[in-house]
Amino acid sequence: MRITALAGGVGGARFLRGLLAALRSSDDPARREAELTVVVNTADDVTLHGLRISPDLDSVMYTLGGGIDETRGWGRSEETSGVADELARYGRTPTWFTLGDKDIATHLVRTQALAEGRTLSRATEELCRRWAPDARLLPMTDDVVETHVDLAPVPEAERAAHDGEAGGRRVHFQEWWVRLHAAVPALAIEPVGAAAARPAPGVLEALGGADVVVLPPSNPVVSIGSILAVPGIRQALVDTPAPVVGVSPVVGGAPVRGMADACLAAIGVPTTAAAVAGLYADLLDGWLIAEGDEAPAPGPRPLAVRRRPLLMSGPAATAALAGAALDLALELAGERAGEVAPA
């Protein structure tokens, strides 16, 4: 069985770890031996202090490879900040982006590979040789895509509460997310470079050749939305013979963790499980929502909706959620096989 997933950082990584746990402990040999390919968002990527940083690739790699800081959900475990402290003493900015010492080693390996002319795909392969994440990690593209955010003007009286920010300018996504905690409203969010980007080698094949495609509960705008903005990827999801099954990142009208509501507001979409499904209406076949949430209105494509516990509160709950997504996908795949089988 070939499973392909799209993913952002923390939400995607946690879900995929649960998916691998569910697969590897299954009684069904097809699930136990399933191959997982993950197409990871790279529009959060940023260059700081000369280092090329791919936060979502690293979150997925560390989480699946056993190196993640479990408390924060991102970055390396048992991390120190010696380099960042020294940079601050040199007066180097920005200081709002956390750069751990161990994490910097990862960024150095990546930055050097790129400087030597290798692609981000190759750099990711090199890093994954160490972490052995039990999945093939593909950046969505080897081209540079960076999400930029247009900040609303901040009234003078409110600036102190927002780190002195006056707004009315365009910043890198990380500055809005990490420095401003997405608390200054965004007027627009744009994955700059996406329109000219090409899917990384293997991405379209992994979508077209999958038996199952999964959308974990990643940020619908700046994670899944950026991946879908790379020309060819959205169409590959529309066209794939595999069922596409997603998990809502929104429960009861709020993102489970983080500030996805600020991203949805910027594109004029309500923070509901139904509205998020609407963003995928052309490609989605199955959708998991929480008990008590409203199902999406019928769209252009038949959609199977199931209510399941959506909180990834621990390893068992996460594996159960991932197992439920897989069950729904295989149920839909079975129905399709029945449709085309000779009478």
Instruction: List contacts with ligand GDP (CB under 6 A).
Output: 7-12, 56, 59, 217-219, 223, 247-249, 251, 255-258, 260, 310-312
* The token pair that represents 212 in the structure block: 């199952």
d(Cα 311, Cα 319) in Å, to the nearest integer? 11
Q: Which is nearer to Ca ion, 41 or 271 (CB)?
A: 41
- Structural tokens at position 40: 């990871």
Nearer of residues 200 and 310 to ligand GDP, judged by Cβ: 310
Segment lying near Ca ion (by CB under 5 A), choices 2-10, 134-142, 236-244, 252-260: 2-10
If contact means CB under 5 to 8 A according to the sort of partner, which of ligand GDP, Ca ion, none does residue 20 touch? none
Q: Which does residue 12 touch among Ca ion, ligand GDP, none (CB within 5 to 8 A, set by kind)?
A: ligand GDP
Mask for 33-62, x = binds Ca ion (CB under 5 A): -----------x-----------x------
User: Apex CA 10: angle with CA 7 and CA 11, to 5°?
Assistant: 65
Q: Which option in ligand GDP, Ca ion, none does residue 274 bind, with CB closer than 5 to 8 A by kind?
A: none
Is 8 an interacting residue with respect to Ca ion (CB under 5 A)? yes
Question: In the complex, what is the shortest distance from the CB of residue 59 to Ca ion, in angstroms, rounded to a whole number?
Answer: 7
* Contacted entry of ligand GDP, Ca ion, none for residue 217, CB cut-off 5 to 8 Å set by kind: ligand GDP
Element (H, E) at 150: strand 146-151
SS3 331: helix
Going 281 to 287 to 205 to 18, the CA torsion angle's sign is positive
Shortest approach of ligand GDP to residue 250 CB, angstroms?
6
311 binds, among ligand GDP, Ca ion, none (CB under 5 to 8 A by kind): ligand GDP
34 vs 171 by CB, closer to Ca ion: 171
- Applying CB under 5 A, which part among 7-15, 100-108, 163-171, 303-311 lies near Ca ion? 7-15
- Minimum Å gap between C-beta 7 and ligand GDP is 6
Cα angle 267, 271, 272; round to 5:
130
Give CA separation, 57 vs 48, 133, 137, 232, in Å.
16, 11, 8, 21
Strand, helix or coil at 222? coil
Q: Which ranges in the chain belong to alpha helices (H)?
A: 10-24, 29-32, 55-65, 82-89, 101-115, 120-131, 173-174, 203-208, 224-228, 233-239, 260-266, 273-279, 315-340
Contacting positions for Ca ion (CB under 5 A)? 8-9, 44, 56
